[in-house]
Amino acid sequence: MKKTVSYIIYGISLTGLAFLAYLLVIIIRTDYSSNIPQESSCPKKPEFNLSRHLHSWDKSQPLTSFPYLVFLDSVNTCDIDAIQQNLSILDSINSGNSTANQHVIAIALTDSLWSQIDQSLVNYNPDSLIILVQWAERFNHYKDYDLGKAKLYRVVYKFWINIVANQLRTYYDNKPSHKYDFKFNYLTAICQSKNLAPPIGNTDFEKIIHNLINKNFAYLFSKFWHDTGIFYKLIVLMLGSLTVYGYYRIIRFHTKTNVS
């Protein structure tokens, strides 16, 4: 009987040790880096005359015949003045069809641009997503100052915030522990503020890990003390005591063995 009790205590102790080892691995592998990339100014590009590349642009089918690749390779896409200048060129060539012209630019700055950079975001790269969000935020501000093109800017902005949210979900699906990283949570918070939070759930156990990583010990103790019943508290206390006692017995056993 005594041996059986000892085996049970050892088993509980080893289980507790395995749990602590699991927590330690997650904590060690978590990226705590909070160095958010600084928003940089737009790099300068040579002036580009879009009109020279529109000789084959079919104005009856403006969306399918526009030279998107030429536009993206040549126009400074983070410079609103350059975008507006090229939109003015479209309006002068395809006059009276401003909505379609803005639609062309919207496709260039969303689907076409995404097809060029999507492979660069296959692997987990939070810095690239942060830089992408910083670029997209420019359009979120432009819509408040240029009401005539507000819809264009809004479409571009929402498209990229959706892309960021979807990428976060993909990273999470591939490696759930990413959600403990500082930059991952930073990006998730941005998406949540736009009501586009990635569908990432947290079990009660994962919430405990998250708070342990963020050193919210007072919060964890408060939740345990105020939000659990007396029976649960007794169980935790008993298991904790058995685990500590088990470690004590294991240490004593190895000490006696070494002495012998």
Distance CA 27, CA 212 (A): 8
The domain limits of the chain are 2-30+228-259, 50-201
- What is the distance between the terminal CA atoms of the chain, rounded to a whole angstrom? 26
Buried b (16+ CB within 10 A) or exposed e, 219-243: eeeeeeeeeeeeeeeeeeeeeeebb
Torsion-angle region of 123 (φ positive above 0: left; ψ -120 to 50: alpha; else: beta): beta
Going residue by residue through the chain (260 aa), what tens digit of pLDDT does each one get?
A: 545 545 455 555 555 555 555 555 555 555 556 678 777 777 777 777 888 888 888 888 889 999 999 999 888 888 888 888 889 999 999 888 899 999 999 999 999 999 999 999 999 989 999 999 999 998 988 888 888 889 999 999 999 999 999 999 999 888 888 887 889 989 998 998 888 777 666 655 556 566 555 666 675 566 655 555 665 555 556 656 656 655 566 566 556 655 55
What single letter denotes the amino acid at residue 131? I
